[in-house]
């Protein structure tokens, strides 16, 4: 195949029979967008985090991003930075994150779980052992912020080989020339980062998101999820009108932090009712997403 | 391992020095990183760029600075003939300005209108604020709040120069956190902002670019030693945090097999005490990925980055430039270490013997000179990169010596 042909060919999912593909197919059949929720594994402690995770599908999450805490989350804003540090303070590790997924899988065989984080903890674990353990635990995909396509040999290609999707981030700075390279090895879905910035800060305008989704659809047959800056059910609904999924992270993490008895920087326990409050908020987001195209 | 016929050809087109280096950054930054790389390549090929840089290094920075024969120290140690490369005599008092001149000229060439930088000890922050004043560009310096507390004079200097110093409270408030925060700023302001990284680390092309801008140190040493002694030096010694002064001194000599090179890491309270008590990434760490490159890092079993410790805020970084990691692995450069106490002793010896108050960073290099020189013959020519002056450190040194100012 010539370079020109490969450049115009839309990427397709190499893991077409996985949970992610099945979930997006089901959403398409329902005629609605999905809600992707992010929480940090182990925040503020492993027990509360597991309770939130286990409750997410019933609350209306269609896909789950589970953050792997890292000491130096340089693409994240204050809310997720603080959540990572709380989780680490509570003793969270890569191994325990995988245990959380295993626990979740005993209750839910269908909701896709995508681990999201930075490369070094995976590098320290060892790429091949990590991929084997992740797959065995029931992980469906990975989003690794500091691995652009230029570093695909590090984790992306081994992940695809191991049957784990590698979900790529695209951003407002990803230009047309770069798009084919960014799409080449992505699988599961494409995550559009709607602003140039860090998580949980500014929000993009609806018109900008419309145009970006349309542009991405010219380059990929994969579902497009949009995130960064979605804080309310209304904003989630706006995104759900044009994208295949809306991703909410910082707002959920902030809701959880609001329940901390000792403030956001402590590793203290949460007040009674916090898990229910967080899941209630996820329910509102889901309602917004589900009503978006109604 | 097959013997290389050159140690000076790296990095490859993807920014790798062996397995080290690379471009581990978020997608938002990637197009900009590629733009910086291209702009830098074009600039290097443009004699006008080189000319303006040379001119500023001469007229504004005061280069070339001397290669100084430290006679009294040589006599006292009773072995190798010791020379100091006097980077502390540069404008702003350290080698950092060499790199800042190069990078701000590149930023202007790229049409960028705003400069950001991280700083630990404040030397790079001061150098960046200085070139921003010189070229009338707005400047934001990220500095950990712990470092702000121990480097007050440099904080005030940066403010006098018109920079905004933003305290970083995340993490433990030191250099790595300042770098995280600068990266967060950059990702948010990609269109108008240039990030002047202060050391030979970060995503490609920074490690190579900073090395090239700092290689003026080694190039001058080569010429000056030829004039003074009519031959090459026998050994080169420099402190290593991120390692920009060391790579600048070493790189021009890498293919001269007779020249031995020693990088000196900060051993803090002692390497044997574990990675919370030192900042020696090569001697006490292992390879990992942080701040855009694969390199030796201080980290725990789970790949979480450790803070490290050094009396010197400029060496207190959990990583090291990727080219050093490679030079270590291929065995071309030796990486030694000096403790806080050894650096303090060297600091005082230098002040009394040579009338030069060195930066605590440079004092780590001197500590190694003190260990090695007495064991070597008198015709052994040893060069120490005196990378910075110690005025900024007198308060923390006084504190360690139990003196109230």
* B314-B318-B319-B324 Cα dihedral, nearest 10 degrees: 70
H runs (alpha helix) in B118-274: 123-134, 145-150, 152-160, 175-188, 206-214, 216-229, 244-250
Average pLDDT over residues B111-134: 96
Q: Which two tokens stand for residue B243?
A: 């390692």
Three-state helix/strand/coil letters over A31-52: CCCEEEEEEECCCCCHHHHHHH
Q: In the predicted model, is pLDDT for residue B1 greater than 70?
A: no
Closest by CA position to A90, among listed A124, A47, A137, A61 = A47
Q: In the predicted model, is pLDDT for residue B88 greater than 60?
A: yes
Q: Is residue B100 left, alpha or beta, with left meaning phi > 0 and alpha meaning psi from -120 to 50?
A: alpha
What local confidence, expressed as pLDDT, does residue A5 receive? 40
What local confidence, expressed as pLDDT, does residue B146 receive? 86
What local confidence, expressed as pLDDT, does residue A15 receive? 67
Segment holding B306, helix H or strand E: none
pLDDT band at A8 (very low <50, low <70, confident <90, very high): very low
pLDDT band at A6 (very low <50, low <70, confident <90, very high): very low
Q: By CA distance, what is B176's nearest residue in A?
A: A72
Contact B287, B295 (CB under 8 A): yes
| Rounded distance between C-alpha atoms, residue A87 and residue A97, angstroms | 10
Instruction: Provide the CATH number for the domain formed by B62-93+215-400 in this structure.
Output: 3.40.50.1100
Q: Is residue A229 left, alpha or beta, with left meaning phi > 0 and alpha meaning psi from -120 to 50?
A: left
Q: In the predicted model, is pLDDT for residue A284 greater than 80?
A: yes
Q: By CA distance, what is A182's nearest residue in B?
A: B27
Closest by CA position to A283, among listed A32, A31, A35 = A35
Closest by CA position to A11, among listed A160, A112, A118, A146 = A160
Share the mean pLDDT of chain B. Answer: 96
Q: Which residues of B touch A197 (CB under 8 A)?
A: 28, 187-188
Q: By CA distance, what is A152's nearest residue in B?
A: B24
Contact A125, A70 (CB under 8 A): no
Average pLDDT over residues B241-259: 97
Chain segment B284-328, per-residue pLDDT in tens: 999 999 999 999 999 999 999 998 899 998 898 999 999 999 999
- The percentage of chain B sitting over the pLDDT mark of 90, rounded to a whole number, equals 91
> For chains A and B, what is the number of CB pairs under 8 angstroms?
117
Å from A71 to nearest chain B CA? 6
Chain segment A125-156, per-residue pLDDT in tens: 999 999 999 999 999 999 999 999 999 999 99
Chain segment A177-203, per-residue pLDDT in tens: 999 999 999 999 999 999 888 988 888
Average pLDDT over residues A53-73: 98
Chain segment B102-117, per-residue pLDDT in tens: 999 999 999 999 999 9
Contact A186, A168 (CB under 8 A): yes
Q: Pick the residue of A146, A195, A228 with the most B CBs within 10 A to test the interface with B by mutation.
A: A146
Q: In the predicted model, is pLDDT for residue B345 greater than 80?
A: yes
Helix (H, G, I), strand (E, B) or coil at A18: coil
First to last CA, chain B: 55
What local confidence, expressed as pLDDT, does residue B151 receive? 84
Contact B69, B228 (CB under 8 A): yes
DSSP string, B265-292: EEEET-GGG-TTS---HHHH-EEEEETE
What local confidence, expressed as pLDDT, does residue A13 receive? 58
Helix (H, G, I), strand (E, B) or coil at B33: helix
Which residues of chain A approach chain B closer than 8 Å at the C-beta? 70-75, 77-78, 81, 85, 88, 93-95, 118-125, 145-148, 150-151, 168-175, 178, 182, 193, 196-198, 201
Q: In the predicted model, is pLDDT for residue B142 greater than 80?
A: yes
Total domains present in chain A = 1
Exposed e or buried b per residue across A110-125, where buried means at least 16 C-beta atoms within 10 angstroms of its C-beta: ebbbbbbbbbbbbbbb
Chain segment B15-57, per-residue pLDDT in tens: 999 999 999 999 999 999 999 999 999 999 999 999 999 999 9
Q: Which residues of B touch A143 (CB under 8 A)?
A: none
Q: Which residues of B touch A148 (CB under 8 A)?
A: 23-27, 30
Please return the burial class of B32, using the count of CB atoms within 10 Å of its CB with bins 0-12, 13-18 and 19+: buried
Q: Which two tokens stand for residue A172?
A: 């407002």
| Rounded distance between C-alpha atoms, residue A223 and residue B73, angstroms | 69
Q: Please, where in chain B does CATH 3.40.50.1100 lie?
A: 16-58+96-210, 62-93+215-400
Three-state helix/strand/coil letters over A163-220: CCEECEEECCCCCCCCHHHHHHCCCCCEEEECCCCCCCCCCCCHHHHHHHHHHHHHHE
Q: By CA distance, what is A176's nearest residue in B?
A: B31
Beta bridge partners of B119: B143
Instruction: Provide the CATH number for the domain formed by B16-58+96-210 in this structure.
Output: 3.40.50.1100
* Residues in contact with A164: Cβ distance below 8 Å, sequence separation at least 6, in sequence order: A15, A131, A134, A135, A139, A140, A141, A142
Contact check, Cβ <8 Å, B291/A74: yes
Q: Pick the residue of B38, B182, B295, B303 with the most A CBs within 10 A to test the interface with A by mutation.
A: B303
Å from B93 to nearest chain A CA? 31
Q: In the predicted model, is pLDDT for residue B391 greater than 60?
A: yes
Contact check, Cβ <8 Å, A125/B303: yes
Average pLDDT over residues B142-154: 89
In which residue are the tokens 């792997």 written?
A68
Q: By CA distance, what is B27's nearest residue in A?
A: A148
Exposed e or buried b per residue across B372-402, where buried means at least 16 C-beta atoms within 10 angstroms of its C-beta: bbeebeeebbbbbbbbbbbebbbebbeeeee
What local confidence, expressed as pLDDT, does residue B133 receive? 98
pLDDT band at A2 (very low <50, low <70, confident <90, very high): very low
Report CA torsion sign: B71, B73, B76, B77: negative
H runs (alpha helix) in B78-122: 96-109
DSSP, res A67: E
Segment holding A130, helix H or strand E: helix A127-137
| Rounded distance between C-alpha atoms, residue B26 and residue B292, angstroms | 9
Segment holding A142, helix H or strand E: strand A141-144
Q: Which two tokens stand for residue B160?
A: 């006098």
Query: Quick check: B295 contacting A, CB < 8 Å?
Result: no
Contact B358, B389 (CB under 8 A): yes
Q: In the predicted model, is pLDDT for residue B206 greater than 50?
A: yes
What local confidence, expressed as pLDDT, does residue A266 receive? 58
Instruction: Residue A40: give the domain boundaries.
Output: 3-291
Q: In the predicted model, is pLDDT for residue A3 greater than 50?
A: no
| Rounded distance between C-alpha atoms, residue A85 and residue B160, angstroms | 35
What local confidence, expressed as pLDDT, does residue B82 receive? 98
CATH of the domain at A46: 3.20.20.70
DSSP, res B304: P
Contact B164, B139 (CB under 8 A): yes
Average pLDDT over residues A116-122: 98
Q: Pick the residue of B11, B23, B24, B298 with the most A CBs within 10 A to test the interface with A by mutation.
A: B24
Å from A282 to nearest chain B CA? 27
Catalytic site positions of B: 96, 118, 387
DSSP string, A259-287: TBTT-TTS-PPBPTTHHHHHHHHHHHHHH
């Amino acid at each position: 195949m010539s370079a020109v042909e490969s450049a115009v060919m839309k990427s397709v999912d190499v893991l077409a029979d996985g949970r992610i593909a099945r979930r997006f197919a089901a959403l398409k059949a329902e005629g609605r967008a999905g809600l992707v929720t992010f929480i940090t594994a182990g925040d503020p402690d492993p027990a509360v985090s597991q309770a939130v995770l286990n409750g997410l599908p019933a609350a209306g999450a269609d896909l789950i991003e589970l953050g792997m805490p890292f000491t130096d989350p340089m693409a994240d804003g204050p809310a997720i930075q603080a959540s990572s540090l709380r989780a680490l303070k509570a003793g969270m590790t890569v191994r325990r994150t995988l245990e959380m997924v295993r626990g979740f899988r005993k209750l839910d065989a269908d909701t896709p779980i995508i681990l999201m984080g930075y490369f070094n903890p995976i590098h320290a674990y060892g790429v091949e052992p990590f991929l084997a353990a992740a797959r065995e635990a029931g992980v469906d995909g990975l989003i690794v912020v500091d691995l652009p396509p230029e570093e695909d040999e590090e984790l992306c290609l081994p992940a695809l080989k191991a049957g784990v999707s590698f979900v790529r981030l695209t951003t407002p700075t990803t230009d047309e020339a770069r798009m084919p390279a960014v799409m080449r090895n992505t699988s599961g879905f494409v995550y559009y980062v709607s602003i140039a910035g860090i998580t949980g800060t500014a929000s993009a305008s609806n018109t900008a998101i419309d145009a970006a989704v349309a542009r991405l659809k010219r380059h990929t047959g994969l579902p497009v999820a949009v995130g960064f800056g979605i804080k309310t059910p209304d904003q989630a609904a706006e995104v759900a009108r044009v994208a295949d999924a809306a991703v909410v992270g910082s707002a959920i993490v902030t809701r959880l932090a609001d329940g901390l008895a000792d403030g956001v920087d402590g590793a203290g326990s949460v007040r009674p009712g916090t898990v229910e409050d967080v899941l209630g908020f996820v329910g509102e987001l889901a309602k917004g997403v589900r009503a978006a195209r109604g | 391992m097959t013997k290389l016929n050159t140690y000076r050809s790296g990095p490859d087109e993807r920014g790798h020095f062996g397995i080290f280096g690379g471009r581990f950054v978020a997608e938002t930054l990637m197009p900009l990183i590629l733009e910086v790389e291209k702009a830098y390549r074009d600039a290097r090929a443009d004699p006008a760029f080189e000319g303006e840089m040379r001119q500023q290094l001469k007229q504004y920075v005061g280069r070339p600075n001397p290669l100084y024969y430290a006679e009294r120290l040589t006599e006292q140690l009773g072995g190798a003939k010791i020379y100091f490369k006097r980077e502390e005599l540069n404008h702003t008092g350290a080698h950092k300005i060499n790199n800042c001149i190069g990078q701000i000229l590149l930023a202007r060439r790229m049409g960028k209108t705003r400069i950001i930088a991280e700083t630990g000890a404040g030397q790079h922050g001061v150098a960046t604020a200085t070139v921003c004043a010189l070229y009338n560009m707005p400047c934001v310096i990220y500095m950990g709040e712990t470092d702000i507390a121990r480097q007050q004079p440099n904080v005030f200097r940066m403010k006098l120069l018109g920079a905004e110093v933003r305290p970083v409270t995340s993490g433990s408030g030191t250099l790595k956190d300042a770098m995280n925060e600068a990266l967060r700023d950059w990702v948010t302001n990609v269109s108008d902002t240039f990030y002047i990284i202060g050391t030979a680390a970060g995503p490609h092309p920074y490690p190579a670019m900073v090395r090239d801008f700092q290689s003026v140190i080694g190039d001058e040493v080569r010429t000056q030693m030829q004039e003074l002694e009519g031959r090459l030096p026998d050994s080169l010694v420099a402190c290593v945090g991120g390692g920009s002064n060391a790579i600048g001194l070493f790189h021009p000599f890498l293919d001269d097999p007779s020249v031995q090179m020693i990088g000196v890491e900060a051993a803090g309270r002692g390497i044997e005490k574990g990675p919370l008590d030192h900042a020696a990434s090569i001697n006490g760490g292992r390879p990992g990925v942080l701040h855009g490159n694969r390199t030796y890092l201080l980290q725990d079993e789970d790949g979480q980055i450790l803070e490290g410790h050094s009396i010197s805020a400029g060496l207190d970084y959990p990583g090291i430039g990727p080219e050093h990691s490679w030079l270590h692995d291929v065995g071309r450069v030796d990486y030694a270490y000096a403790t806080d106490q050894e650096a303090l002793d060297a600091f005082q010896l230098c002040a009394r013997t040579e009338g030069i108050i060195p930066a605590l960073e440079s004092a780590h290099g001197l500590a190694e000179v003190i260990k090695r020189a007495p064991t070597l013959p008198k015709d052994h020519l040893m060069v120490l990169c005196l990378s910075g002056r110690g005025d900024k450190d007198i308060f923390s040194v006084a504190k360690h010596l139990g003196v109230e100012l």
